[in-house]
Amino acid sequence: MRRRRLLAALGAAAVAVPGSGAFTSVTAERDAEVDLENDADAYLGLVDLGAGGRSETDAGRLTFSFPSDSEPSQLGLGSDSIYRFETDAGTTDPGLFEVTNQGANTVEVYASQTNTSGVPAISIFDVADPATVLDGNPDSVTLAPGQSFEGGVRIDTHGVSIQNAPYEVTLTLHAEL
């Protein structure tokens, strides 16, 4: 079978081996191949839905814009409000984006925002259950490998001052065992 013999010649067998199976050191080099992928192909798959531009894949990365470039530029979010976006602009198809578990383990998916002070608070929800904010505290979506959900974006503008320049915020998506 896989039993192979290597016959080596090294002096006489005079040195005692301290017990069976001891060694002083071993160095073993192994191949490791890790590929970097865009959002659509990575283990946590993120795909923008719709062509209205509220969700887009920019340089391999899922991004959001409210309003989108396809919407009148004078539009925007009102202050002291909570907005829920379940569709892209110009469509009634559900979902702004799709999250797919393309990995090997069942994961809990939710999103968080690192810095919320003075900026709009952004979170996600499953369009099948828009009332539940998926912030991991405690709500999340359970995805087995191959499963996905269509997501929407919730934006809370309470306590945020009106300004001309868009607010740039970062949403962090988590997929955890």
Partner 1 sequence: MERRKFVIGLGSLAAGGAAATGTGAFTSVTADRDAEIDLEDDADAYLGLVAGNDNGWAVQTAGGSSANGTMMIEMNGQSSPGGGGTGVSANAINVFDDVFRIQNQSNGQKYVWVEFTKSGGGGATADVDIDFYVGDHSAGPDSIVGSGEAAAVGEGNEIAVGIVVDTEDVQNYNNQGWTGHILEDVTIHAEDTDPSGGT
Give dist(CA 145, CA 136) in Å, integer: 19
Q: Report the candidate in 145, 153, 141 with the shortest Cα–Cα distance to residue 94.
A: 153
Burial of 99 (0-12, 13-18, 19+ CB in 10 A): buried
Q: Is 28 in the site for partner 1 (CB under 8 A)?
A: yes
Q: Is 168 in the site for partner 1 (CB under 8 A)?
A: no
CB under 8 A: which stretch of 9-17, 77-85, 110-118, 159-167 binds partner 1?
A: 9-17
CB under 8 A: which stretch of 31-39, 64-72, 73-81, 126-134 binds partner 1?
A: 31-39
Rounded least distance, CB 146 to partner 1, Å: 5
Residues 47-86 that bind partner 1 (CB under 8 A): 59-61
| All residues at 6 or more sequence positions from 150 whose CB lies less than 8 Å from its CB, including other chains | 49, 94, 95, 96, 97, 98, 126, 127, 128
Number of residues that bind partner 1 (CB under 8 A): 55
For residue 152, list its beta bridge partners: 125
Q: Is 27 in the site for partner 1 (CB under 8 A)?
A: yes
Per CB under 8 A, residues contacting partner 1 are 2-15, 17-39, 41-46, 59-61, 100-105, 145-146, 177
